[in-house]
């Protein structure tokens, strides 16, 4: 919509002709805008919808504004027609005509009477005095029409934008929700029995309520653009929709996981049985090794070995029963828990075996060290040295006797080791000392 020139002195004929041409073009622009608003799809939807909330309140005010707009436009049209008639009387307008035209084109020459004036007073806000008539200049009337048009178009465009964006997206999400519910039901995920089933029920209720709200009160789901004065500046509020779409995606991933369990449950159960069987065999080996250590090694604290993983085997039997009954939603979390527990049990069994057999490993290391030094002594031609033979026999009796005292046997090996090193190196023998001493190999 256009804007007329400000008021001034009496206009000459050229100014009048230019003003009339400008006002005629402005009249066409205003009429085009009003007709476009009248035919706007959003306006037609608003007229036929059962509105609630803020949309109902704003649409009532907008309808009154649109009616007022047409009243203003009719008054504007009448004033423009009068001015054109006066100008058309004579080719060369008289002074009296020019004064009359100046008053029409620049003064407060437009009178809005009756209901239109009352509507104008109502639109000014509560408490505004009601008037039987209102006078405007063409400039002021255009400004007022621009204001009402922008407010009405903003409301119509916002409602239409929400209706164009959200209901269709909600319907698509609802269709996906129905497919997911059918799939969830097929694997036993139902409300009251599985959290995902409860989530699906909640999402269903939320989407149903959201669609009803969007259809009846679209402006409640509209976010105006900050700092924008253009009609329809803003965007639909998709916060609730986006939250439910994310929730549905999470449920869908959980259902996919349950479906995956249904497809590979047998293989996973077989792997679980194998892991638990290995853990059981390892614990049995550790218990046997503990008995051997207690019989063959003296003065050694041997850790106690736990019994077989009976609780895990019972849970494994429960998982197998879930598979037979097709209770996939229960089998899925149980399998995940069992797989982790079974790996932990196998690791614990291996650590137990290592801890129990540690004394035997120490004895084996001492035996290997003693034989290695004996071979080294033989290479240097000292195998028949009486002191070396005596100390070798003493260490050997300790290491090959049962029960073996590892601390005493280690001291015997160290004595043989030092004596052999002294004889091979030709150095004088150093006095023997207690303690663990050198634990090195033949190259020490």
Question: pLDDT, tens digit, for every residue of 433-443?
Answer: 443 434 344 33
Q: What are phi and psi of 433, to 5 degrees?
A: -125, 155
Phi-psi sector, 425: left (phi>0), alpha (psi -120 to 50), beta: alpha
Provide the pLDDT for residue 163. 93
What integer is the mean pLDDT of 167-180?
Answer: 94
- At residue 13, the 3 state secondary structure works out as helix
Res. 186: pLDDT tops 60: yes
pLDDT in tens, 263-277: 787 888 888 889 989
pLDDT in tens, 57-72: 999 999 999 989 998 9
Provide the pLDDT for residue 301. 74
pLDDT in tens, 330-387: 887 888 888 898 999 899 999 888 888 888 888 888 889 888 888 888 888 887 888 8
- At residue 223, the 3 state secondary structure works out as strand
The count of residues in the chain is: 444
Res. 227: pLDDT tops 90: no
What integer is the mean pLDDT of 180-208?
Answer: 87
Res. 125: pLDDT tops 60: no
The token duo for 431 is 């006095």
DSSP-derived letter for residue 218 is: G
Dihedral sign for Cα atoms in the order 261, 263, 265, 268 = negative
- Give the predicted TM-score (pTM) of the model: 0.57
Res. 158: pLDDT tops 70: yes
pLDDT in tens, 382-394: 878 888 888 888 8
């Amino acid at each position: 919509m256009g804007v007329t020139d400000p008021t001034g002195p009496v206009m000459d004929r050229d100014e009048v002709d230019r003003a009339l041409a400008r006002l005629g073009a402005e009249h066409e622009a205003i009429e085009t805008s009003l007709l476009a608003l009248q035919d706007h799809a959003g306006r037609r939807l608003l007229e036929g919808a059962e509105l609630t909330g803020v949309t109902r309140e704003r649409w009532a005010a907008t309808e009154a504004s649109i009616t007022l707009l047409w009243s203003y436009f009719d008054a504007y049209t009448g004033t423009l027609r009068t001015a054109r008639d006066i100008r058309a009387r004579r080719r060369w307008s008289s002074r009296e005509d020019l004064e009359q035209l100046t008053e029409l084109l620049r003064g407060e020459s437009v009178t809005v009477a009756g209901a239109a004036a009352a509507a104008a007073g109502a639109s000014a806000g509560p408490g505004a005095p009601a008037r039987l008539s209102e006078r405007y200049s063409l400039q002021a009337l255009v400004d007022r029409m621009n204001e009402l048009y922008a407010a009405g178009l903003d409301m119509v465009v916002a409602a239409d934008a929400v209706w164009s964006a959200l209901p269709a997206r909600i319907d698509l999400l609802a269709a996906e929700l129905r497919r997911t519910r059918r799939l969830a039901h097929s694997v036993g995920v139902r409300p009251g029995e599985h959290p995902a089933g409860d989530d699906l029920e909640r999402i269903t209720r939320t989407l149903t309520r959201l669609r009803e709200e969007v259809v009846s009160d679209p402006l409640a789901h509209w976010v105006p653009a900050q700092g924008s004065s253009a009609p329809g500046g803003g965007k639909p509020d998709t916060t609730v929709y986006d939250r439910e779409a994310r929730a549905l995606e999470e449920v869908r991933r959980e259902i996919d996981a349950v479906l995956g369990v249904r497809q590979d449950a047998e293989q996973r159960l077989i792997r679980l049985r194998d892991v638990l069987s290995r853990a059981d065999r390892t614990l049995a080996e550790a218990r046997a090794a503990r008995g051997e250590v207690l019989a063959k090694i003296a003065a050694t604290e041997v850790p106690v070995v736990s019994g077989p993983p009976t609780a895990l085997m019972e849970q494994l039997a429960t998982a197998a029963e879930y598979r037979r009954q097709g209770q996939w939603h229960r089998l899925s979390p149980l399998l995940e828990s069992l797989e982790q527990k079974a790996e932990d049990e196998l690791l614990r069994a291996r650590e137990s075996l290592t801890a129990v057999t540690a004394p035997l490993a120490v004895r084996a290391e001492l035996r290997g060290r003693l034989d290695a030094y004996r071979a080294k002594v033989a290479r240097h031609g000292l195998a028949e040295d009486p002191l070396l033979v005596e100390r070798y026999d003493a260490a050997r009796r300790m290491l090959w006797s049962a029960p073996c005292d590892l601390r005493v046997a280690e001291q015997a090996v160290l004595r043989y080791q030092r004596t052999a090193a002294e004889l091979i190196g030709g150095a004088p023998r150093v006095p023997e000392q207690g303690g663990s001493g050198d634990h090195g190999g033949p190259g020490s």
